[in-house]
Structure 1
Amino acid sequence: MAANSTQSVTDAMSGESLEFLSFTLGNEEYGVSIQKVQELRGYDTVTRIANAPDFIKGVVNLRGIIVPIIDMRIKFNLGSPTYDQFTVVVILNIGGRVVGMVVDSVSDVITLTPEQIKPAPEMGGALATDYLVGLGTVDQRMLILVDIDKLMSSNEMGLIEQHAL
């Protein structure tokens, strides 16, 4: 098993197929390594934390574990989120920490071969591509593959210590 998603991409480049959980935010489809996904849950009421950044909706108690909930639509500046019956919280286990990621909907699990994963294009300073693994293509679909370890451990998120990964 790969230790992190950067390693997963290295594995993919060496010939192993990878599985990604695909989810939507707005009109775009994203993917994270299925190895990081612990479970899927419907969106529930969260307890707000004072002075938390906007993208941190709050925390929930998940079987005795306090889990921070991050709204990815707010994090990626994709407009105002709406919470309905399709809204899903993807519970991730990253570096031993459990975090929840709110997405508009979850599509399916997609297996990608190395040929289907292209490096993320360089956008200069216009767009931070540090958190992107690459772009996956399946038939007519394009999946934006997110390095969830890097994203959740970034300084601005402040959720997971770098050394924990």
Structure 2
Amino acid sequence: MNHQKSSVEQQYVLFKLDNEFYGIDILQVETIEKVMDITRVPHALPYVQGVINLRGEVVPVINLRKRFNLPEVALDEESRIMIISIEDMIVGLLVDSSSEVIQLEDADVDEAPELGEQKDNEYIKGIGKNEDRIIILLDLKKILGITDTNEL
């Protein structure tokens, strides 16, 4: 058996929102923190929860439930702030819980299905399959509204 195509494995940090699993490329995750005091910022976008002081650095926190139009729930001991780094930005993502790191091969990842309007799944980079779970792989640039500069 001669396998021409080498499978590329990628690691993802899993977290949950509304009992669904989501994954973010591990290279973009700095740390995962317990929820701390979040200071509200006047006139911020509706999904911006506020800012936190993370070891002396002011970090904006995005509430992913609000960003995905999911019903809001009270924060509990499972709630986490995932500190991510993308294009020289440090941002916190407020999630229901963070569970584990998994490896997915390219063969385990499908493209996001077309579901009605394109904007409905623009945050989705792909759909991962791991054991009996479906994992929605997120495109952080789209979630954070970062556009590539060469798209001007």
Q: So what's the TM-score if we normalise by structure 1?
A: 0.82
For the 8 Å contact 2:23–2:136, the answer to whether it is kept is yes
Cα offsets for 1:46-78 (capped at 9, x unmatched): 111111122101001212221100010111111
Residue 109 (1) aligns with residue 101 (2): yes
SS at match of 2:142: helix
Aligned-partner residue type, residue 67 of structure 2: K
Task: Give 2:83's aligned residue.
Answer: 91
The 2-side partners of 1:119 and 1:107 are apart by 23
In 2, the alpha carbon distance for the partners of 1:119 and 1:137 equals 11
Greater strand proportion: 2
What is the letter of the counterpart of residue 41 of structure 2? I
Distance 1:126 1:16, change over 3 A: closer
Aligned to 1:54: 46
Question: Which runs of 5 or more structure 1 residues have no equivalent in the other structure?
Answer: 1-12, 155-159
Secondary structure of the corresponding residue to residue 120 of structure 2: coil
Shift of 1:88: 0.4
Compared CA separation, residues 125 and 147, structure 1 to 2 (3 A): same
Check the 8 A contact 1:74/1:81 in 2, yes or no.
no
Answer yes or no: is 1:144 the counterpart of 2:130.
no
Please say if residues 141 and 147 of structure 2, whose CA atoms lie closer than 8 Å, have aligned partners that are also in contact: no
3-state SS in 1 of match to 2:46: coil
Q: Which range is displaced more, 50-59 or 82-91?
A: 50-59
Deviations 1:58-105 (A, max 9, x none): 001212221100010111111013201000000000101100000000
Separation (CA, whole Å) in 2 of partners of 1:121 and 1:90: 26
Q: What is the DSSP-based 3-state SS (H/G/I as helix, E as strand, rest coil) of the residue aligned with 1:102?
A: strand
Greater CA radius of gyration, 1 or 2? Answer: 2
The residue aligned with 1:4 is none
The letter of the residue matching 2:36 is D
State the distance in 1 between where 2:55 and 2:148 align.
Answer: 26
**Identity score, percent:** 34
Report if the CA contact (8 A) 2:10-2:104 is conserved: yes
Q: TM-score when scaled to structure 2?
A: 0.89
